[in-house]
Structure 1
Amino acid sequence: MRPPPAPAPLVAPPPASNPDPVCGPDSYINSRGNCVRRPVEAPSAPAGATAKCNDGTYSFSQSRRGTCSGHGGVASWL
C-alpha cells in the first residue's frame, strides 16, 4: 500500500496579467474591498507606506495579516 501523496506547497498566485480595471495597474483590491498600492522599490519609505519588506520593497497594506507575504515577510513596520 502506498502512502498518500504529500500536499502541494502553498504558492502565491502569479500577478494578474491584466491590471485591475477598478484600481489600475499599480494597485490591487484588498480583502476589505479597498484599492491598495502594490509594494514598490524605493531608496526610502514613500508617502503612505506602512511596512518595509524583507526584500527591500515598501508595502502599503491596510492590515498586518498577509503584509509582505510575497516579499519575504515584514522587516519593519513604519
Structure 2
Amino acid sequence: MFAAAVGLSGLVATPAGAAPAQIACATGEYENVDHQCVSGPERSETPPAGATAQCGDGTYSHSKNHRGTCSRHGGVARWLA
C-alpha cells in the first residue's frame, strides 16, 4: 500500500495558491510580501525620501507593510508619517 502511494506522488499537481517564483531585485533591494522590490534599510542622518520607519539599529526602512518591518534591524523604533 505504501509503495503504491509513493508511486502516485508524482501525479499530484502544484496547488493553485503556490507561491510564485522569486523575482530578481536590484542590489540593495529585497522582495517584500507583495512580491515587489523595495529599497533595503539604509543609514542616514535624516529620514531619506520614501522612508516609512526608523529601525532600532538607526537604519531607515522603506517597507510598504508593517509586518516584518525592521526585522533583523532591532524592530521598529518609530513609524514615520
Q: If the length of structure 1 is used for normalisation, what is the TM-score?
A: 0.71
Gaps of 5+ in 2: 1-21
Aligned to 2:38, the other structure's residue is in SS state strand
Paired residue for 1:47, among 36, 46, 49? 49
User: Structure 1 residues 21 and 32 mapped into 2: Cα distance closer, same or farther (>3 Å)?
Assistant: closer
Cα RMSD (Å) = 1.5
Deviation, 1:66, is: 0.5
Q: 1:31-69 CA distances to partner (integer Å, 9 max, x unpaired)?
A: 101000000000000000000001000000010001001
Q: Which has the larger radius of gyration?
A: 2
CA distance in 2, matches of 1:24, 1:49: 18
Conserved 8 A contact 2:48-2:60:
yes
Q: Percent identity among equivalent residues?
A: 53
Task: Find the aligned partners of 1:63 and 1:40 in 2 and give their Cα distance.
Answer: 17
Output the CA distance in 1 between the equivalents of 2:58 and 2:32. Answer: 21
Partner of 2:31: 29
Assess if the C-alpha contact under 8 Å between 2:29 and 2:40 holds in 1. yes
> More helix by proportion, 1 or 2?
2
Match runs of 1:39-78 below 5 Å = 39-78=41-80
TM-score for both structures, normalised by structure 2: 0.68
Unaligned runs of 5+ in 1: 1-19
